[in-house]
Structure 1
């Protein structure tokens, strides 16, 4: 079993986090994710609300996964009277999965959210992402809604 140490991400981690973001969200490029992560790590904000990134690393210091967490004013199924911690992104490299690393990352995100006054944590995933669904459920998340989102340019 590898060491599951989790720490707040630093600027030197940007390239590795961006590479994982590109695996998680295939519609963007590593360069786009590098800029986004750099901005977040420098400002500790995502838009107008607090946010941060945590990374997991093995005993040799290699990054094995990340979680991006932020505050939201509301989230589906959550109490609208309080801010909500939100898992904006959560990824563990394939060869390190099923070792408790994802849970350690989410635990860090939840502690961060509690420190910002949150009483609930929320997240989302695509309908077809059954691995993500099962991972969320294993950590105590419950499905509150399923929807298809639309847009129309004007």
Structure 2
């Protein structure tokens, strides 16, 4: 069952989200409470939160998108004991329906170039790669 994160499930969400974003749980919970994460959902199985998905609506430019706004997959995590059981696919199907309900026609995402696991996941659930980038910085 997929449910929105609320004050009762906030610690469950922060436990899952902190492993994806490498951010302290307390900071994530504070950010959630001030509205920085408005579209957070947990996947529950047998009374336990075993996965989460974080979505956003981006109105700025999204690489490869043909429409605007675009629903954006900000993060997803399934506990290791529950991986390869279809939960991630169910979460992506949920995200696609959520986007359609918002009047949005595309769901986008990204990952690091060296994150082959994430790339394989995106391909497996139907995402199509649209570009690759390398970023640079020059001190002035």
TM-score (normalised: structure 2) = 0.89
Q: Does 1:19 align with 2:15?
A: yes
Structure 2 CA distance, aligned partners of 1:109 and 1:153?
40
The aligned counterpart of 1:126 is: 112
Instruction: Report runs of 4+ in structure 1 exceeding 6 Å deviation.
Output: none
Q: Does 1:94 align with 2:90?
A: no
Structure 1 CA distance, aligned partners of 2:79 and 2:135?
28
Structure 2 CA distance, aligned partners of 1:103 and 1:39?
29
* Residue 151 to residue 19, structure 1, CA distance change in 2 (3 Å): farther
The aligned counterpart of 2:131 is: 145
TM-score (normalised: structure 1) = 0.82
Q: Is the 8 A contact 1:18 1:37 kept in 2?
A: no
Structure 2 CA distance, aligned partners of 1:149 and 1:34?
30
Corresponding residue pairs, total: 139
Unpaired runs of 5+ in structure 2? Answer: none
The aligned counterpart of 2:41 is: 54
Residue 32 of structure 1, CA deviation: 1.0
SS where residue 9 of structure 2 aligns? helix
Moved more, 64-73 or 12-21: 12-21
Structure 2 CA distance, aligned partners of 1:148 and 1:88?
20
The aligned counterpart of 1:71 is: 57
Unpaired runs of 5+ in structure 1? Answer: none
The aligned counterpart of 1:10 is: 6
Structure 2 CA distance, aligned partners of 1:148 and 1:92?
28
* Residue 150 to residue 14, structure 1, CA distance change in 2 (3 Å): farther
Q: CA RMSD in A?
A: 1.8
Residue 148 of structure 1, CA deviation: 2.3
- The one of 83, 91, 94 aligned to 2:69: 83
SS where residue 120 of structure 2 aligns? helix
